[in-house]
Amino acid sequence: MKKLANSQSELLSVYDYIIIGSGFGGSVSALRLTEKGYKVLVVEKGKEFKSSDFPKTNWDLRRWMWLPSLKFFGIQKITFFRHISVLSGVGLGGGSLVYANTLPKPKSGFFNHGPWKNLDNWEEKLSPFYDLAWKMLGAKENPVLGDNDLTLKKVAKDLGVEKSFSPTKVAVFFGEEGKKVPDPYFNGEGPDRKGCIFCGACMTGCRHDAKNTLDRNYLYLAKMKGAHIICETEVTNILPMSEAGEDGYEVEMKSSTKFFSKKKKLKSNGLILAGGVLGTLPLLLKLKETTLPNLSPKLGETVRTNNESLILNVTDRTDLDMSRGVAIGSIVELDEDSHMEVCRYGEGSGFWKTILFPFIYEKNFFKRIGKLLYTLITSPSSLLRAFSVDDFAKRSSIILFMQHLDSTLKFKRNFRGIGTSMSSGPTPSAFIEKSAQAANSFSKIINSKPLVLSLETITGIPSTAHILGGACMGENSSEGVIDKNNKVFGYENMYVFDGSMISANPGVNPSLSITAITEYGMSKFAKS
């Protein structure tokens, strides 16, 4: 596959658009703006990865985790806040490198909720762009159900919702297993692909050229059509050349992988903020205090977590191989507001077991710690099993539970950089009754005990892989940060296209929605 990143020496002094971030919003923006004739630069904080660059297992922390202070420059980032722990992606292609490929479309409630609900008939307007997003991302129904998925099907039957069980629609090429073929998606303009071998290693980075990450579709095509892309670079400042940016912007950036580096400044007529919630919000919140004071007071508000819980089950049954399949191969609708999926890692990936504790369903802290100590003393097998099984990935299943129900956080500046506070609705919790019920049913079927990240048991703070909102749509700047076309209130030719624009809780994996909304937003741009 042709190397995508441009060298610093090839950069222009002035661009029509600088795009900050290369995830689902940034990649779509890069291709569509380039096709319309604009000079585009994509700035990505993480590294560019070829297939062979990804770790073989998640024990290779230097290649898997993003911890620049330790010189770990991988694709998986974990960020801890007071109310939530967030798993996110880093690298050229953003979250597509580490996500589980799953592309579900939200129900009608998503389009008729939150601060964007009265701005347009979103379900109707976005429908063709969801179809376009599925096509561009190469979405197909998962053809192989592994032991993980078949167990979920039994859980669905046990809970009386078997009819709602279905294979997932995923961004994976399902050709002949392991066979290399010319680009099957874009009339030969894209890179060669290989058929999925169902190794389960999607979330540590696909080493087999089967996963349809953004560097193989949107970004690849954007590069071929003239877009410039630089990696390992972080934007640190945005300076409007006039009060509202009508004369363009000066963008200051530096290396994200070196402790000391010379800052570089480039000019652009317009900006696309696409660094995700954990990239866009910290940058804009900082700049609101300095160079971008006209940003809406709603910035950082209405952050959502998809009301998730992540619960692992580890079995010692050697007749089961939970690692076989795609990362998420099936989904169950538990009720109108709740979905459940099962996730897997590839053979040999057992890092998570080092930070697991038994799942204790108890909201009161003191009672929970008491029950934890009692469990560790009287029944240590639940924790020991995670360490003693022959292969953690083969014997473990991760239940991902999501709800459409609403609660929101607020991101704000503090002495550490960014902190969270409650905005509305109930506080996010690691203790959701329906998810606990499903996890217990799963455990009985495979003879296991539920486990969660140790911080969840100790603090009760849940984890999420789908942090959303904070730069939501509104009728005006007193109601939102961006308008219905994603333009930032208070500044000209500045837009937000990433998870922070999501203005309601989708209740399902959001990547498809980010792609579709960005496609819609890009359709509003005139040709250069």
Q: How many residues does the chain have?
A: 528
Q: Which pair of tokens denotes residue 209?
A: 């050229």
3 state SS of 139: strand
3 state SS of 209: coil
Three-class secondary structure assignment of 481-493: CECCCCEECCCCC
- Pairing label, strands 494-496, 264-273: parallel
Known catalytic membership, residue 208 = no
CA angle 80, 337, 355 (to 5 degrees): 30
**How many Cβ atoms sit within 10 Å of the Cβ of residue 52?**
7
55: Cβ–Cβ under 8 A, 6 or more apart, which residues?
A: 63, 64, 74, 204, 205
Distances 449 to 148, 189, 347, 383 between C-alpha atoms, Å = 15, 48, 21, 8
Cβ(444)–Cβ(437) below 8 Å = no
**Alpha-carbon gap, residue 271 to 492, rounded angstroms:** 9
Which amino acid type is present at position 372? L
Three-class secondary structure assignment of 242-301: CCCCCCCEEEEEEECCCCCCCCEEEEEEEEEECCCHHHHHHHHHHHHCCCCCCCCCCCCC
First and final C-alpha spacing in the chain: 29
* Residue from 42, 100, 147 nearest 442 by CA: 147
* Residue from 143, 135, 154, 297 nearest 221 by CA: 135
**Alpha-carbon gap, residue 100 to 278, rounded angstroms:** 19
- Choose the catalytic residue: 83, 208, 339, 466: 466
Region for 435 from its dihedrals, namely left if φ exceeds 0, alpha if ψ lies in -120 to 50, beta otherwise: alpha
* Catalytic machinery residues: 466
